[in-house]
A = this chain, B = another copy of it.
Amino acid sequence: MSLNEEWFTEICPESGSAFSLKVKQRLHEERTPFQRIEVYETEHYGNLLVIDGYVMLTDRDNFLYHEMLAHPVLFTHPHPRRVLIIGGGDCGTLREVLKHPSVTGVQMVEIDERVTRVCEQYFPDLCSANGDPRAELHFKDGIQWVDQAPQGGYDIIIVDSTDPIGPAVGLFSEDFYRSCRRALAPEGVFVQQSESPLLHQPLIRSMHDKLRQGGFNHVHTLCFPQSCYPSGWWSATMASASTALSDWRANDALNKPFATVYYNRDIHRAALAVPEFMADKAP
């Protein structure tokens, strides 16, 4: 269902809301072994990536999500070198991670190679760092990858996944979090996209519980705007066994040696602020 053939519409059934973008044309459509990928050219949001009918990103506003998934966690770890990205096939998170000079290697483990190939074609800006010698792209199952990873091999794990339905359900489980904890070095920091603060409080609370049960002693949810996702307000949840998430490298963020569109030191601090209704109910 859509407004008419000139619009792409995503309905969010659990909130009885819908978001639509006016489109000029569909640029691409394919069904992979994993999912259905579409790319549209929109009137005012640049190109739009859709997977299984859900908006993944647009040219215009993906900077919010990608910057907030990458930079807070990297400026929380005292010296991040080895980074694992689970999912993230559009490569926008990879690009942001590689802006950090301390990073010596990034493994991106995306289950569906076609997502990356389509994005290389239609979102070349997001894929502009794919040729960086520090980047390794693996097209495999992220849960198995983490299970088989050497203990303590990563400083940072970023889970840049779709919603917790279908193939991504396992990425929101206590078993997966325990594997991530094992694959992280003692000071390691984890982050995962965690849906809308307005619409998905039960999920966020359940993630806090499972992360703690999985061995993470510090858990904190970041909030930030994201206009193309339901409610226009989104979150990422950070976790660490021993690194205090409130004790991040603020001075390094202030003097970051790279450009961003949204993120800076004050925005990092702002994202850590807990709205009153989340403070009351968080475990």
Chain A contact residues, CB within 8 Å of chain B: 1-4, 7, 9, 11, 14-22, 42-45, 60-61, 197-198, 223, 225-227, 231-233, 259-264, 266-267, 269-277, 279
Q: A2-B3, A198-B225, A270-B270 are in contact. List 10 more A-B contacts (CB 8 A).
A: A9-B18, A16-B45, A17-B20, A225-B231, A232-B232, A261-B277, A264-B273, A264-B275, A266-B274, A270-B273
| Oligomer: number of copies | 2
List residues of chain B with CB within 8 A of the CB of A267: 273-276
A11 to B42, CA, bound (A): 15
A224 to B99, CA, bound (A): 27
B4 touches A4 (CB 8 A): no
Residue of B whose beta carbon sits closest to that of A269: B273
List residues of chain B with CB within 8 A of the CB of A11: 3
List residues of chain B with CB within 8 A of the CB of A60: 198
A193 to chain B, nearest CB (A): 16
A9 to chain B, nearest CB (A): 7
A45 touches B61 (CB 8 A): no
B22 touches A16 (CB 8 A): yes
Q: Select one of B44, B198, B271 contacting A227, CB under 8 A.
A: B198
List residues of chain B with CB within 8 A of the CB of A9: 3, 18, 20
B276 touches A262 (CB 8 A): yes
Residue of B whose beta carbon sits closest to that of A17: B21
Q: A4-B1, A20-B18, A198-B61 are in contact. Are A260 and B276 (CB under 8 A)?
A: yes
